[in-house]
Amino acid sequence: METRALFAATAQSFVDLVTALPSPVADPALWSSPALGVWDLRALVGHTNRALVTVSTYAATTIEHGADPSTSTSTSTSGAVLDDAAEYLQAATRTATDPDEVAARGVAAGAALGTDPEAAVTAARDQALAVLAAVPSGTRIPVVGGLLLPVEEYLRTRIVELVVHGGDVARAATAAGAPVSASPPAEAVVAATLLLAEVGARRGDGALLLAALTGRGSLPPGYSVL
């Protein structure tokens, strides 16, 4: 499936997941229950929704300032130019991801969901797809840390976010007594797995990952490629 179509399908699966949850009005305790790290379920859903919101924000910046499709480079930013999603995830993890700031943004994003998270995530999905429709394929967009990344490569990282945190949401809600299932497209799960494996291999963990995947070893407790 083409990257934009896969992003759209994965975004829909997240909307479906949130739709399946009782609303904060119907079950306020659920939305304040522990979910992931310092986040309650509301903050976790809000953070996951940022995978949609940031697409709109970053792509809209490109549209507002203009882009040259022939060079696939935004004319609005002079940040470091990156070529692919794995390179971006490595760079963002090293230089642009402060854990406290990420946690705070998640809390704020959760609060922004209001009393109708279903409507909020649906609107975020619709806005992201509408803005993307105006961005030519291959255009570099300014993302976190002032980095410039081809739009389709950024979407690959958003698919990872939606798949991984969709699973987190489902597990947290189920543990809190509201059993739901995350059902992203199988192709999105494959894409997320491949991208994260590539990040790990590029940072020198390829042999470790291969051993674990083939039953010849195990990953250290708490291991993460991010």
pLDDT at 74 over 90: no
Average of pLDDT values for 153-158?
Answer: 98
Could you give the CA distance from residue 14 to residue 29 in angstroms, rounded to a whole number?
A: 21
pLDDT at 6 over 80: yes
Q: What is the pLDDT of residue 218?
A: 96
Read off the pLDDT band of 95 (50, 70, 90): low
pTM for this model (two decimals): 0.91
pLDDT at 97 over 70: no
Write down the mean pLDDT value for the chain: 91
Query: 12-48 burial, b if ≥16 CB within 10 A, otherwise e?
Result: bbbbbbbebbebbeebeebbebebbeebbbbbbbbbb
DSSP 113-173: TTT-HHHHHHHHHHHHHHHHTTS-TT-EEE-GGG-EEEHHHHHHHHHHHHHHHHHHHHHHH
Amino acid at 91: A
- For the chain, what percent of residues have pLDDT higher than 70? 92
pLDDT at 101 over 80: yes
Q: What is the pLDDT of residue 62?
A: 78
Average of pLDDT values for 85-94?
Answer: 88
